[in-house]
């Protein structure tokens, strides 16, 4: 089974690129982040024409996640236990955002996750990011405690560069989010809970994101913030992985590259 995770930065804008990716790489399951649309606005018909089923979770023009599968799409759930919410006015009710969707595809539980950006250290959104990651870790650990042998993958845009080599210049990121100790510890906690980073062994030294500004892609100034984390039972089935850097090129590209992993299930 070939699973791809990709922050498309607007599903409607990137529709044909998404369809092309599915066909070009023969993808079985595409876990999408940052669709930037409501459910009724998501272009599901295009994927259904290609033989895929679609589950989308979008509440407004921000965030949004989806799973596009041709190997089954069962037990769809949006949001995970304990998922915190966020509202700009901290005095108001903190509402859950469209940042998680899960479904069972060909016997694998696929989670598409869009972790909050964090904005700036000290900003309420930074604390929200850490609480989101802690709750995700707790939910993931609980699922493994219930069934240590189940096959599941948590994948998407984690908005964290876990190691110094995962950014083009650590000096540039000094004092900024994505590289702070608490963020990296939160990512490590997911792995300590049992979810293995199955992409790095096959794609060491590669990046997944290049900011649109300052010609970062052309200058080779990227970051590694998109991952697939698999349970032990699923991680043992990995036969290969790659990052489609070519998809970041050309007019109308997302600022993220697709991350693709092959599982022999």
The predicted-structure confidence for 10-65, as pLDDT tens digits, reads as follows 999 999 999 999 999 999 999 999 999 999 999 999 999 999 999 999 999 999 99
- Taking Cα atoms as reference points, which of 250, 182, 263, 220 lies closest to residue 5? 263
Classify the C-alpha dihedral 255-127-102-65 as positive or negative.
negative
User: Could you tell me which residues are beta bridge partners of residue 153?
Assistant: 110, 230
- The pLDDT, as a whole number, for residue 187 is 98
Report which DSSP code applies to 258.
-
> pTM value?
0.98
| pLDDT band, residue 230 (cuts 50/70/90) | very high
| pLDDT band, residue 215 (cuts 50/70/90) | very high
List, for residues 139-164, the tens digit of each pLDDT value: 999 999 999 999 999 999 999 999 99
Is residue 154 within 8 Å of 111, Cβ to Cβ?
A: yes
Report which DSSP code applies to 3.
E
- The pLDDT, as a whole number, for residue 91 is 86
- Overall residue count recorded for the chain in this entry: 265
3-state secondary structure of 109: strand
Pairing of strands 2-7, 29-33: parallel
User: Could you tell me which residues are beta bridge partners of residue 155?
Assistant: 112, 228
Q: Measure Cα distances from 14 to 17, 21, 181, 207, 243 in Å.
A: 5, 10, 34, 20, 18
* pLDDT cut 90: percent of the chain above it: 98
Phi/psi for 117 (5° steps) reads: -70, -40
Is residue 78 within 8 Å of 101, Cβ to Cβ?
A: yes
Greatest C-alpha distance within the chain: 49
- The pLDDT, as a whole number, for residue 78 is 98
Is residue 255 within 8 Å of 211, Cβ to Cβ?
A: yes
Q: Measure Cα distances from 57 to 139, 239, 260 in Å.
A: 19, 30, 22
Mean pLDDT of 177-185: 98
Q: Measure Cα distances from 18 to 31, 184, 208, 218 in Å.
A: 11, 30, 16, 22
């Amino acid at each position: 089974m070939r699973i791809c995770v990709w922050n498309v930065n607007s599903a409607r804008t990137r529709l044909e690129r998404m369809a092309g990716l599915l066909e070009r790489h023969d993808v079985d399951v595409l876990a999408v982040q940052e669709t930037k649309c409501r459910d009724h606005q998501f272009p599901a018909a295009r994927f259904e024409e290609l033989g895929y089923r679609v589950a989308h979770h979008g509440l407004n023009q921000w965030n949004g996640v989806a799973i596009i599968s041709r190997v089954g799409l069962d037990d769809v759930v949006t949001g995970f236990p304990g998922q915190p919410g966020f509202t700009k006015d901290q005095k108001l009710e903190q509402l859950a955002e469209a940042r998680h969707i899960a479904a069972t595809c060909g016997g694998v539980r696929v989670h598409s996750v869009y972790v909050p950006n964090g904005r700036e250290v000290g900003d309420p959104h930074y604390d929200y990011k850490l609480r989101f990651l802690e709750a995700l870790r707790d939910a993931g650990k609980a699922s493994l405690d219930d069934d240590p042998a189940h096959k599941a993958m948590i994948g998407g845009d984690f908005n964290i560069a876990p190691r110094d080599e995962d950014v083009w210049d650590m000096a540039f990121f000094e004092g900024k989010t994505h590289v702070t100790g608490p963020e990296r510890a939160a990512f490590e906690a997911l792995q300590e809970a049992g979810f293995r980073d199955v992409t790095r062994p096959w794609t060491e030294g590669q990046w997944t994101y290049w900011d649109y500004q300052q010609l970062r892609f052309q200058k080779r100034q990227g970051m590694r913030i998109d991952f697939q984390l698999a349970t032990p039972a699923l991680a043992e089935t990995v036969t290969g992985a790659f990052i489609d850097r070519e998809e970041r090129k050309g007019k109308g590209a997302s600022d993220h590259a697709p991350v693709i992993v092959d599982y022999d299930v």
